[in-house]
Amino acid sequence: MKEIFRDEMKKLNGRFNEMGIDISEQIYQATKSFVDHDQQLAEQIINQDETINDNEISLEERALKLIALQQPVARDFRKIISILKASSDLERIGDHAIIIARETIRLKGNNRIPEVEELISDLTADIRSMLEQSLDASIRGDAEMAKKIAQSDQEVDEQYYQIYQLLIEIMKRETNTAVAATSYLMVIRMLERIGDHIVNLCEWVLYDETGKLKELNPGKLHRDEYLKVEEQEAIVRHERKKAKLKKEANKE
């Protein structure tokens, strides 16, 4: 019976890792479609969303069946719960990637900002590195590694804020970029949220190894900086409305 349980746990871990690798590729493809203005690729990613969701459901069913049939002891039970919770975060990351792909389609025909797209590519690379390292920490059961990875989210937040500020400055100089800028803002916001979910993955590694739930998020940017972001969001909405009205007026 114990041998059967170990075999099933190995399969469960394998499924989880495969799901993580697939999600990492989905992030890459989604931002690639956005930066390359590739609507065909974006549509492919959106169409694959159901597969990702099905994988998460399949993993959940396998985990719950393992609990029901094998009645694992505390340490093994904790491992299964960690995988269940972490797979939910992976599924949410996939949802954010889909939103990025949808922005590729929505942005058709609008002015693009190459310098921002380059920064988005860099941010994506950093986030994928975080995700893949967190999967490695999970496989190794390395709580210290998980803590270190979680600290990287502060750098993600800083990059997000820098790109945000750059977009605002560009919009002030070039009002015709207002519509496009809203898509860029959505994309970087999704990437920042993906970073938060990766921190959650690290927290589940820590829980699995120690049995303790601990907040690993190193904290967001200073409150004043976030208040500035909220103020700038109001400007973005205003500029977008002006651009829309101008476009409608030109049609008339």
Residue 39: pLDDT band (50, 70, 90) is very high
Which tops the pLDDT comparison, 131 or 233? 131
pLDDT tops 90 at residue 194: yes
pLDDT tops 70 at residue 220: no
pLDDT tops 70 at residue 239: no
pLDDT for position 131: 96
Distances (CA, A) of 94 to 54, 62, 194: 12, 20, 9
Look at residue 236 and give its three-state secondary structure: helix
Q: Are 114 and 136 in contact (CB under 8 A)?
A: no
pLDDT tops 60 at residue 185: yes
Out of 25-34, 49-58, 188-197, 205-214, least confident range: 49-58
In the CATH scheme, what is the code of domain 2-251?
1.20.58.220
Q: Are 128 and 24 in contact (CB under 8 A)?
A: yes
Q: Determine how many CB atoms are found less than 10 A away from the CB of residue 182.
A: 22
Half-sphere exposure of 162 (CA within 13 A, CB side): 12
- Residues 113-153: pLDDT tens digits? 889 999 999 999 999 999 999 999 999 999 999 999 999 99
Residue 221: pLDDT band (50, 70, 90) is very low
Q: How far is it, in rounded angstroms, from Cα 168 to Cα 174?
A: 10
pLDDT tops 50 at residue 222: no
pLDDT for position 206: 94
Q: How far is it, in rounded angstroms, from Cα 53 to Cα 149?
A: 26
pLDDT tops 50 at residue 226: no
Average pLDDT, whole number, for the chain? 85
Give the tokens for residue 129: 């590195």
Nearest partner of 175 among 110, 86, 109, judged by Cα:
110
Query: Look-up: residue for tokens 């590195």?
Result: 129
| Mean local confidence (pLDDT), 144-166 | 93
Q: Taking the model in full, what pTM does it have?
A: 0.83
| Mean local confidence (pLDDT), 5-24 | 90
Q: How far is it, in rounded angstroms, from Cα 208 to Cα 86?
A: 11
pLDDT for position 145: 96
User: For 121-126, which contacts have Cβ atoms below 8 Å and span 24 or more sequence positions?
Assistant: 121/31, 121/35, 122/159, 123/156, 123/159, 123/160, 123/163, 123/188, 123/191, 124/27, 124/28, 124/31, 124/191, 126/152, 126/155, 126/156, 126/159
| Mean local confidence (pLDDT), 228-238 | 50
pLDDT for position 38: 93
pLDDT tops 80 at residue 168: yes
Residue 223: pLDDT band (50, 70, 90) is very low
Query: Look-up: residue for tokens 């986030």?
Result: 127
Nearest partner of 76 among 145, 10, 142, 146, judged by Cα:
10
pLDDT for position 231: 52
